[in-house]
């Protein structure tokens, strides 16, 4: 028996609202076109929820997120809420959902459409054909490790954090990365600081031991500082990179910057059953919010990832990815990636993508 898939839509603040509206247009179209048994529900989150309910993540939203097969998350935040205490700040919604849903695997693809290589800070011959996937551990490591704290009654005062990973945490994130490499170009680079950190040495040993289960994947290891350098010098050597929370955070931002267009990059955060939250890599962009000029392709790509990983619709996901590619190849642009004044407003992008899918 086919089960109804539940999709929770959380547009959030600023351009989050605008880009999510575009993704909803595409989603509504594919549901109708393919007669998909999907149930969608939209709710407030972030600053918007704070204004309505006094909290950025109402209990009801969290419960719906836990029930959903996929959560589409726009972006949250804005100067209006910057001075609130942490539990009231819009960004808290994001971290609460990640934590409460145990979304330990963060998948951040970084790819370049060659037509947009002029937007990259790197030379065309280095960046051309870039297509990498960074798999970042998201619920462990130094960001959550205990003990942590600031001691201010000593001389000198000090602060400390704990970087800790157990074997199970390393295995489950490495498994996601090995399997992703199997579906891509069969190369996995595990990144740590095994030369100085015990936890990294342990990470390397566990990942190495697993590699015999994946004979079709070529496993390599790089130290985090070298990996950061290699991403800039020769990014095309990579296929899939797996890293801890801290190193993955840094490397995925470097990789995103290489493409030069933050409005193009999606992300997925998955639990062990492949339920997940899907969001663009960018924030709420208060500087351009309300102007109908945001690029919604990262959000539409995030929808495509949701269809692929959580909603069992790989074919439809492929169609959306192809449509985005054709959109760019046909010369359509949004303001952030346009070289002149010839660009589509946010509100017309989904219509164009749908037209391309229909003709495809």
Residues near ligand NAD, by CB under 6 A: 15, 19, 75-78, 91, 94, 262-263, 279, 282-288, 294-295, 298, 336
> Which lies closer to ligand NAD via its Cβ, residue 78 or residue 248?
78
Identify whether the C-beta of residue 51 lies closer than 8 Å to the C-beta of residue 60. Answer: no
Supply the minimum distance, in Å, between the C-beta of residue 283 and ligand NAD.
Answer: 2
Residue 135, CB-side half-sphere exposure with 13 Å CA sphere: 25
As a whole number of angstroms, the distance between CA 271 and CA 104 comes to: 6
Q: Please confirm, yes or no, whether 131 is among the known catalytic residues.
A: no
Tokens representing residue 68 in the block: 């959903």
Identify whether 309 is a catalytic site residue: no
Shortest distance, position 213 Cβ to ligand NAD, whole Å: 34
* Spatial CB neighbours of 165, under 8 Å, sequence gap ≥ 6: 137, 140, 141, 199, 202, 203, 244
Is the Cβ of residue 106 or residue 310 nearer to ligand NAD in the bound state?
106
Catalytic residue among 13, 69, 249, 336: 249
275 in active site: no
Our answer to whether residue 153 is catalytic in this structure is: no
Q: Least distance (Å) from ligand NAD to the CB of residue 45?
A: 9
Would you say 76 or 227 has its CB closer to ligand NAD?
Answer: 76
Contact 65, 101 (CB under 8 A): yes
Question: Does 249 qualify as catalytic in the annotation?
Answer: yes
> Which among 28, 131, 253, 271 is annotated as catalytic?
253
User: With respect to ligand NAD, which residue has the nearer C-beta, 193 or 333?
Assistant: 333
Residue closer to ligand NAD by CB (options 219, 293) is 293
Catalytic residue, chosen from 5, 69, 193, 335, is: 193
CA gap 44, 83 in Å, rounded:
20
Tell me the C-alpha distance between 5 and 303, whole Å.
14
CA angle 244, 245, 246 (to 5 degrees): 95
In the complex, what is the shortest distance from the CB of residue 77 to ligand NAD, in angstroms, rounded to a whole number?
3
**Sequence-distant contacts of 231-235: CB under 8 A, at least 24 apart:** 231/255, 231/258, 232/122, 232/258, 233/126, 234/126, 235/122, 235/126, 235/127, 235/130, 235/132
Handedness of CA 9, 15, 18, 20 (dihedral sign): negative
What are the residue numbers of the active site?
143, 193, 225, 249, 253
């Amino acid at each position: 028996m086919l089960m109804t898939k539940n999709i929770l839509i959380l547009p959030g603040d600023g351009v989050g609202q605008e880009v999510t509206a575009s993704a909803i247009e595409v989603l509504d179209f594919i549901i109708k076109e393919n007669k998909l048994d999907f149930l969608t529900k939209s709710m407030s989150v972030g600053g918007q929820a704070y204004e309505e309910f006094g909290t950025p993540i109402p209990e009801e939203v969290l419960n719906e997120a836990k029930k959903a097969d996929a959560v589409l998350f726009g972006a949250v935040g804005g100067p209006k809420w910057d001075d609130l205490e942490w539990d009231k700040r819009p960004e808290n919604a994001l971290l609460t959902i990640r934590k409460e849903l145990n979304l330990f695997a963060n998948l951040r693809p970084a790819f370049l459409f060659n037509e947009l290589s002029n937007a990259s800070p790197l030379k065309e011959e280095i960046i051309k054909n870039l297509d990498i996937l960074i798999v970042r551990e998201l619920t462990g490591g130094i960001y959550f490790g205990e003990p942590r704290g600031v001691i201010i009654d000593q001389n000198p005062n000090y602060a400390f954090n704990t970087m800790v990973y157990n074997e199970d945490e390393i295995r489950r994130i490495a498994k996601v990365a090995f399997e992703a490499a199997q579906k891509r170009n069969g190369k996995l680079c595990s990144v740590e600081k095994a030369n100085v950190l015990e936890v990294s040495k342990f990470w390397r040993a566990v990942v190495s031991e697993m590699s015999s289960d994946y004979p079709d994947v070529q496993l390599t290891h790089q130290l985090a500082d070298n990996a950061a350098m290699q991403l800039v010098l020769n990014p095309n050597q990579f296929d899939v990179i797996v890293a801890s929370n801290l190193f993955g955070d840094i490397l995925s931002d470097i990789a995103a910057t290489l493409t030069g267009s933050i409005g193009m990059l999606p992300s997925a955060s998955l639990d062990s059953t492949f339920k997940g939250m899907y969001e663009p890599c960018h924030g709420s962009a208060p500087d351009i919010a309300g102007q109908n000029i945001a690029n919604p392709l990262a959000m539409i790509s995030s929808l495509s990832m949701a269809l692929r990983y959580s909603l069992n619709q790989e074919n439809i996901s492929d169609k959306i990815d192809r449509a985005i590619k054709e959109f760019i190849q046909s010369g359509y642009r949004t303001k952030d990636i346009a070289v002149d004044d010839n660009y589509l407003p946010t509100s017309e992008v989904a219509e164009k993508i749908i037209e391309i899918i229909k003709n495809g």
